[in-house]
Chains A and B, each alone.
Chain A
């Protein structure tokens, strides 16, 4: 290859990289994470047994049967988690809803500081340090919230921070329906 051809091919490189990126964006649009249900919907929760953080109670798949409850995936490094957290605290305290925490790819001491700071709405928390359990759940990004029915099956998945409208219009009616 002559140096001139080489130079020309080099100039083509940014365009080529961009085309690849564009293809990903296009596919990404069809993979809308907040619309696509988790492949786990209506399936039993994956089997796991995680230690708690800072000596608190841990979380295992066996805890997720017998009662309608929420599993909230959170991390201390996640900003949207801080936004939705006051709502979770209110739900747990005022509505008496059982919320289990899945602490995703986090340091236990950082997670503990996070809960000390913002309040702890969780009945128990599993420390998913390497994110393995989260991945089995089909977690796309934090925060995510799963509705689990009495039989321990995943019935609904919410991606992103929970907003009051989501709560009023979707989650609470669903919890009431499943509790019947």
Chain B
């Protein structure tokens, strides 16, 4: 009964989405307030109905209702509760339901917040959100219904892929989708602005909080995914340039560019055409990621089951949304007025450079991901892997990070670069010091590692010094500096924190890429091994039983200078229902480096086990830095200016007291 309620809720949501995708447009064109209002009500209604459908599917998972096909295929009665819940989105149908749930959440949020947005623009934004909803609800109901019954119900399910039964991965998709889907709001704002034929600084301010929410969520989602790969795949790699990872990286790169160019629209009324295009492209890349993952055109470890019918349907959705958005752009973008001019060396200039580098990076990733597909059409078979990306991306990242520390120091319109560099001397000293420390700890080779650490320190110190410079730290009494710091807009804090987070993350990436120590050996009970100053003793290997798996656990005692500091217990698990083996690495972290142990196969002679031991310097900083970046995003989101009305720029400024209430 409950699955049927979920199914009908989806059908009703589709009807509401059709209303939301049509009436507000007509209302906006005819200035009919009631029709525009209908869009808001439909958005609330959709949220209610889709939440109901989502809860219905979750209920089927929680009580292990094996008369529902989706539950049979992806769950098992013995599976821990956390993974029963996470199993809802650990498969194609359920993840599409999560997708549409997020969409309805954003739709209702646009309806509820943003009271200062002009009613016609708001109606059109909701209308576009409604149309996206129509497309995806139709897709779910026609090709990916998660509520299909199977009779007679089998006694138990097939279990979820054991690699996915992991706390890190349980919450990776919701954040990722919150990011993907969040960019739909920027898309809808861009389409709405194109229909209205008007983009002004206020538009930049309205679109900003949505982009920030989406960007922060996507950053967290990607970080969680890479963290999972790090500890679950059993050797400590954290990024593979896998097509599906690239599918999430492309909207992130484009979204990062969008965050920055929207600032120029907001503050300087410039770069408007470009920003609109970026908003359309960012969401399009999110949609393309969905297409690539689910259509089976690219093979990947993450790819969902292939169904050509679904591929065609998602391609049609991609074509309509992106094609429609870009066509509208081609027809209407000329109506957008060109705004303020600026010199190349200026805040605007730095943001243009940022956009240029991020866009080229997006293109590089796009080409690398799609090339095999494109050449396949001509009968050429190629495979593009990590070597291609590792060869190109650093050349784009180096200038990007160099400029990242300088950009926030530059004033709008025109700047004196030499003077600015003079103010950055502290960041320069920190950079030199960091390189010296790296040189002392790891030697001169590889040189790229020293360059990388220098860049990380430059970004980090530059970001912090920007705040210090603004509050005139050490140049005026400390109490005055502190009160200035309190008075700084949250947006400025957000910038610095996010940039500092990027610096931290880069240091982590550099540390583990260049200074990794590894040791593979056969260890018998009582054997000792030394890795990077840690002495590990294999004390015991014992079988154990988990809720839905059996496992073999190794017990390693870790000593430094004879003192016991930790016990590591890596496992080899066997999931009998899914018939798959997984390795669970054991990690001892000092927050500056990780000691990472994996228990392998018994050695051929039966006397010991193949053991892999790694020392990953700085690796936790990748995720620490990502979290700091997300904090920066959230700080920026809390900026007061995003909640208050935007004073309209006029030819003849009127006194603020006479400004209409917004």
Contacts and interface: CB of A to CB of B under 8 A. Distances in A.
Interface of A: 4, 7-8, 11-12, 14-15, 18-19, 21-22, 24-29, 31-35, 75, 77-80, 82-83, 86-87, 89-90, 93, 104-105, 113, 116-119, 131, 134-135, 138-142, 159-161, 163-165, 168
B391 to A, nearest CB: 12
B581 to A, nearest CB: 6
A29 B385 contact: no
Which 7 residue pairs across A and B have the least CB separation, nearest first? A79-B240, A15-B326, A77-B386, A80-B301, A160-B299, A164-B579, A28-B297
A3 to B, nearest CB: 11
A83 B299 contact: no
Contact of B383 (A22, A29, A140, A168): A140
Contact of B374 (A24, A26, A78, A119): A24
A25 B296 CA distance: 11
Nearest to A21: B370
A132 B386 CA distance: 19
A105 to B, nearest CB: 7
B296 A32 contact: yes
Nearest to A138: B381
B323 interface: yes
Nearest to B333: A11
Contacts of B273: 11
A11 B299 contact: no
B311 interface: yes
A40 B306 CA distance: 23
B297 A82 contact: no
B330 interface: yes
A142 B315 CA distance: 25
Interface in B364-415: 370, 372-374, 376-377, 381-383, 385-387
Contacts of B229: 79
Given A14-B281, A34-B299, A83-B233, A77 B315 contact: no
A11 B237 CA distance: 41
B300 interface: yes
Given A29-B297, A113-B518, 10 more contacts: A18-B284, A26-B315, A28-B373, A29-B295, A31-B377, A35-B306, A77-B385, A78-B385, A105-B383, A119-B600
A77 B390 CA distance: 11
A104 B297 contact: no
B318 interface: yes
B383 A139 contact: yes
B331 to A, nearest CB: 8
Nearest to B284: A18
Contacts of A32: 296-297, 306, 308
B252 interface: no
Contacts of B237: 79, 82
B329 A11 contact: yes
B164 to A, nearest CB: 12
Nearest to A17: B326
Nearest to B300: A80
A19 B323 CA distance: 7
B484 interface: no
A49 B406 CA distance: 55
A85 to B, nearest CB: 10
B157 to A, nearest CB: 15
Contact of A139 (B280, B308, B381, B600): B381
A34 B322 contact: no
Contact of A15 (B301, B311, B323): B323
A28 B520 CA distance: 42
B381 A14 contact: no
B312 A28 contact: no
A18 B327 CA distance: 10
A116 B329 CA distance: 54
Nearest to B383: A141
B612 A22 contact: no
B242 interface: yes
Contacts of A34: 296, 299, 306
A83 B604 CA distance: 22
A22 B319 contact: yes
Interface-central residue, A21, A119, A161, by most chain B CB under 10 Å:
A21
Contact of B385 (A24, A134, A142, A165): A142
A22 B277 contact: no
A26 B297 CA distance: 10
Interface in B416-448: none
A168 B102 CA distance: 38
A93 B301 CA distance: 24
Interface in B221-269: 229, 233-235, 237, 240-242
A140 B298 CA distance: 10
Nearest to B582: A86
Contacts of A19: 323
Contacts of B234: 82
B356 to A, nearest CB: 16
22 contacts: A7-B334, A8-B334, A14-B280, A25-B297, A28-B295, A29-B297, A31-B376, A32-B297, A33-B296, A33-B376, A34-B296, A35-B306, A79-B237, A80-B242, A118-B235, A119-B610, A140-B299, A141-B372, A160-B299, A160-B303, A161-B301, A164-B578
B300 to A, nearest CB: 7
Given A135-B381, A159-B299, A28 B318 contact: no
A142 B211 CA distance: 36
Contacts of A22: 315, 318-319, 323
A18 B383 contact: no
Contacts of B604: 93
Contacts of A15: 323, 326-327, 329-330
A79 B277 CA distance: 34
